[in-house]
Amino acid sequence: MSEAHTATISVLVENSPGVLVRVAGLIRRRGVNIHSLSVGPTENAAVSRMTIVVDTPPERTEQFAKQLRKLVEVRRATAVDGQQTVDRELALVKVNANPGTRMEIMEIANVFRANVVDLTDRTMTLEVTGKGEKVDAIVSLLAKHGIREIARTGQATLVRGAQAT
Amino acid sequence: MAKQIVSAPAARRRTSRATKMTGAQVLVETLRRERVKVLFGHPGGASLPIYDALYDATDIRHVLVRHEQVAAHAAVGYARASGRVGVCTATSGPGATNLVTGITDAMMDSVPVVAITGQVPRPVIGNDAFQEADVTGVTMPITKWNVLVMRADDVARRVQQAFYIARTGRPGPVLVDIPRDVSQESCDPEFVDGIPVPEYRPVLDGNPNQIAAAAELLGSAQRPMIYAGGGIISGNASAELTALAERTRIPVALTLMGKGAMDELHPCCLGMLGMHGSAYANWAMNEADVILAVGVRFDDRVTGRLRDFAPRARFIHIDIDPAEIGKNKPAHVPIVGDAARVLAALAAQVRPPQIDPWWAQITEWRERHPFRYRQRDGQISAQFVCDLINRLTGGTAIVTTDVGQHQMWMAQWYRPRAPRSFISSGGLGTMGFGFPAAMGAKFACPDRQVIAVVGDGGYQMTMQDLITAVEHRLALPIIVVNNGALGMVRQWQTFFYRNRLSSSILRNPDFARIAEAFGARGIRVDRPEQVEPALRSALATEDGPCVVDVIVDPEENCLPMIPSGQSVAEMILDE
């Protein structure tokens, strides 16, 4: 999880079967772990964007992007580290909560601008959005209440300003 | 999800329509439009409709092999000898998986090949049907691109895309997997008239500022070298490379894949570098101050230990594949582009450097340590056989090799005069490649002398297809350099494993008699004076293959040698 050895690569791909496997296979072939991968449609229905965070030293990042560009289905691959970017991740955190602990958990949620999206007499589910570090921070604060489940989307990134990612 | 590579523009592109055809008929018509004359293959259940369509295609010659691996290697030999796309075909499951080695070979050596495989019918895909294998899954990391065609309407476009991708930019293998019911399905074929993958257009012209910087660097160099590889041959840049060398007098070292990229008798050409390259080429690289690397990938068999490779040099690196630049060694002047175009632009502006002292040094190295070999009494030296093949052909034949000692000896002693004359499995190092590749080359160039030079180990991996060469009456000498061992394995065991010869000594059949049983000529020689008459006779054989089993000195090692992962300083020169 150390930030020093992760690299973020934003990839625009053809929206077609097998592309995810090609991208993942290319990374796997080099023995590199995928830290997170988020994928979804873009403004162009024929194109999807993947934001891939890999555990790889910075000097290998550009080589990674170049190899990705060799895939015929990849339209664009950008190593975004070192650029001004907006990075966001969404997490759903289901935590143990009883009437006695609810207020404390909601205080934590307020500080992190998290939303309560589900509540039962024994659990509370929070939705939190932000940089990965922010999600890590709220998760560590909630830990003492007992986290039942977490679902994180993985990082999505765009370069700031008019420049394309 | 939309099942297409090309989405929005596809609808707008001009297409031409024909009348109703089956998917298999569309495939054959597309092959015809791609000007395919020969394909190598083996039929089976899932490709029956394709073979039925081929039955009517009298203008496309199908060469029936006896093992699909041979089809893939032959397609590679065909492509490398001719510069055209080689085509092979196999049925689903085991047929397709037998292509895998040959496809990987094409991937590693950047050879344009299209493999067409049958697949089980669509309704049973994924159900473990008889002879089903996930062939697009299996071949994903070993193809430049692949596709499973799920509609007959898509066959034409997909096959056109396959040929375009295989031959464009850095060439490579492409696989098209066609389910049997897609081959049988009736459709209105749509052929793409323009570029079938508009998004895929590699950069061809180098950046002018970078070319100017390269010209400046070369012009002021004192000890420059050109390090040229297979990209010169696949990019048809031999004339441009030679012109640049002649204008600047910069010495040229070739990789194994680059052999023939320049006339190896040219005074500027130092022949092959690397693990078993010439001592003088390696010494020159080691001392160079500027190296123009073009169409090469800084393979470990060339560089040895990377940090000690050409430690004094600044690199100009030209390649059509941007991912090669800086992959293994940082480039001071990176140039992405087509080798021929960039070299021509560079030659037009480079100022010839002052390098007389450099040439004096190289000449001294060359005289001090040329390639040489010993001939023990009564034994045939393998190098003598290679040297003799070179002398008898004058370097004008197309030779193919397997992998191992004989391959390196041929690389040292055979001096091709022109590109596409030395066809050897470089990156993958595939035993069993030489003979099928020679068949492919002979189909591509029936009027050229083609010679397969193979080892006794490698030959036995694909020998069964001798019958294919007999059937097609291919005038094909097959020289078996027979040392009764897996020679290179034996050599490494001798050098690095205290001569513990673990599973490297072969008990061999009588290759000459096997040839005769197939209906070919067979000659066995075991005395030095028999070699030349036997080779001359084999080279003159016109009506079919001729196997010459040459029993050579089993103890010979291939030298010089830079041990794996080491540097020029550790080069082993003599026994």
Question: Residue holding tokens 């935590």?
Answer: A95
Residues of A in contact with B3 (CB under 8 A): 16-17
CATH number at residue A128: 3.30.70.1150
**What pLDDT shows up at residue B18?**
56
Residue A38 lies in a domain: yes
Chain B 28-47, residues with CB within 8 Å of chain A CB atoms: none
pLDDT at B3 over 60: no
Q: Quick count: other Cβ atoms within 10 Å of Cβ B8?
A: 12
Residue A98 lies in a domain: yes
* A–B CB contacts, 8 A cutoff, strictly below: 49
CATH number at residue A77: 3.30.70.260
Is residue A48 located within the same domain as residue A104?
A: no
Q: What percent of chain B lies above the pLDDT cut of 70?
A: 97
Residue A146 lies in a domain: yes
Determine if residue A66 is left, alpha or beta; phi over 0 gives left, psi from -120 to 50 gives alpha, anything else beta. Answer: alpha
Question: Of B281, B232, B143, nearest to B420 (Cα)?
Answer: B232
Range A54-68 average pLDDT:
89
pLDDT at B14 over 60: no
Residue A50 lies in a domain: yes
Question: DSSP secondary-structure letter at B572?
Answer: B
Q: CA-to-CA distance for B476 and B77, rounded, in angstroms?
A: 13
Phi, psi dihedrals of residue B271, rounded to the nearest 5°: 75, -155
B5 in contact with chain A, both atoms CB, cutoff 8 A = yes
**What pLDDT shows up at residue A30?**
85
Q: How far is A7 from chain B (nearest CA, A)?
A: 17
Q: CA-to-CA distance for B76 and B427, rounded, in angstroms?
A: 13
Could you say which of A22, A51, A83 is where a domain stops? A83
User: SS3 letters for B499-526?
Assistant: CCCCCCECCCCCHHHHHHHHCCEEEEEC
Beta bridge partners of B89: B41, B116
- List, for residues B137-160, the tens digit of each pLDDT value: 999 999 999 999 999 999 999 999
- List, for residues B410-430, the tens digit of each pLDDT value: 999 999 999 999 999 999 999
Question: Of B30, B324, B76, nearest to B202 (Cα)?
Answer: B324
Residue A164 lies in a domain: no
Query: What torsion, rounded to 10 degrees, do the Cα atoms A67, A69, A72, A74 define?
Result: 120
Range B380-385 average pLDDT:
98
- List, for residues B92-104, the tens digit of each pLDDT value: 999 999 999 999 9
pLDDT at B8 over 50: no
Report the amino acid identity of residue B401: T
Contact B432, B413 (CB under 8 A): no
**What pLDDT shows up at residue A56?**
86
Is residue A56 located within the same domain as residue A14?
A: yes
Could you say which of A35, A55, A83 is where a domain stops? A83
**What pLDDT shows up at residue A16?**
87
Question: Of B216, B212, B232, nearest to B224 (Cα)?
Answer: B216
Give every CB contact of residue A82 below 8 A, 6+ residues apart in sequence: none
Q: How far is A130 from chain B (nearest CA, A)?
A: 30
- Out of B8, B144, B199, whose CB is closest to A75? B199
Which residue of B1, B139, B336 to mutate against A (max A Cβ within 10 Å)? B1
Is residue A79 located within the same domain as residue A92?
A: no
Is residue A24 located within the same domain as residue A42?
A: yes
- Contact B323/A18, CB-based, under 8 Å? no
Residue A78 lies in a domain: yes
Is residue A103 located within the same domain as residue A147?
A: yes
Q: How far is B38 from chain A (nearest CA, A)?
A: 27
State chain B's mean pLDDT as an integer.
95
Q: CA-to-CA distance for A137 and A106, rounded, in angstroms?
A: 15
Give every CB contact of residue B522 below 8 A, 6+ residues apart in sequence: B511, B512, B513, B514, B515, B516, B546, B547, B549
How many domains is chain A partitioned into structurally?
2
Contact A7, A81 (CB under 8 A): yes
B501 in contact with chain A, both atoms CB, cutoff 8 A = no
Q: CA-to-CA distance for B433 and B413, rounded, in angstroms?
A: 20
Give the C-alpha distances (Å, rounded to integers) separating B96 from B67, B93, B145, B402, B453: 11, 5, 16, 23, 27
Residues of A in contact with B200 (CB under 8 A): 72
- List, for residues B34-70, the tens digit of each pLDDT value: 999 999 999 999 999 999 999 999 999 999 999 999 9
Is residue A124 located within the same domain as residue A75?
A: no
Instruction: Give the angle subtended at the CA of B554 by the CAs of B548 and B555, to the nearest 5°.
Output: 150
Could you say which of A83, A118, A149 is where a domain stops? A83
- Out of A16, A22, A62, whose CB is closest to B2? A16
Residue A162 lies in a domain: no
**What pLDDT shows up at residue B113?**
98
Using the CB atoms, write b or e for B502-529: b if 16+ within 10 Å: eebebebeebbebbeebebbbbbbeebe
**Does the N-terminal peptide bond of residue B560 adopt cis geometry, omega within 30 degrees of 0?**
yes
- Contact B321/A70, CB-based, under 8 Å? yes
Q: What percent of chain B lies above the pLDDT cut of 90?
A: 95
Contact B216, B45 (CB under 8 A): no
Q: CA-to-CA distance for B64 and B70, rounded, in angstroms?
A: 10
pLDDT at B4 over 60: no
Which residue of A70, A76, A78 to mutate against B (max B Cβ within 10 Å)? A70
Is residue A37 located within the same domain as residue A106?
A: no
- Contact A18/B145, CB-based, under 8 Å? no
Q: How far is B322 from chain A (nearest CA, A)?
A: 7
Question: Residue holding tokens 């031409």?
Answer: B16
* H/E run at residue B186: strand B186-187
pLDDT at B5 over 70: no
Is residue A17 located within the same domain as residue A45?
A: yes
B216 in contact with chain A, both atoms CB, cutoff 8 A = no
Q: How confident is the model at residue B366 (pLDDT cuts 50, 70, 90)?
A: very high
> Helices (DSSP H) in B122-219: which residue ranges?
135-138, 155-167, 180-184, 208-219
- Domains, chain B, ranges and CATH? 15-191 (3.40.50.970), 208-368 (3.40.50.1220), 382-551 (3.40.50.970)
Q: How confident is the model at residue B9 (pLDDT cuts 50, 70, 90)?
A: very low
Is residue A18 located within the same domain as residue A70?
A: yes
**What pLDDT shows up at residue A4?**
57
**What pLDDT shows up at residue B17?**
57
Residue A165 lies in a domain: no
- Contact A16/B165, CB-based, under 8 Å? no
> Helices (DSSP H) in B290-447: which residue ranges?
300-303, 339-349, 356-368, 382-393, 405-413, 434-444
Is residue A79 located within the same domain as residue A94?
A: no
- Contact A17/B3, CB-based, under 8 Å? yes
Q: Quick count: other Cβ atoms within 10 Å of Cβ B12?
A: 7
Is residue A77 located within the same domain as residue A92?
A: no
A70 in contact with chain B, both atoms CB, cutoff 8 A = yes
Q: Quick count: other Cβ atoms within 10 Å of Cβ B11?
A: 8
Q: CA-to-CA distance for B499 and B517, rounded, in angstroms?
A: 37
Domain span at residue A10? Answer: 3-83
pLDDT at A3 over 60: no
- List, for residues B161-190, the tens digit of each pLDDT value: 999 999 999 999 999 999 999 999 999 998
A76 in contact with chain B, both atoms CB, cutoff 8 A = no
A16 in contact with chain B, both atoms CB, cutoff 8 A = yes
- List, for residues B231-277, the tens digit of each pLDDT value: 999 999 999 999 999 999 999 999 999 999 999 999 999 999 999 99
Is residue A77 located within the same domain as residue A12?
A: yes
Assembly ipTM: 0.83
A2 in contact with chain B, both atoms CB, cutoff 8 A = no
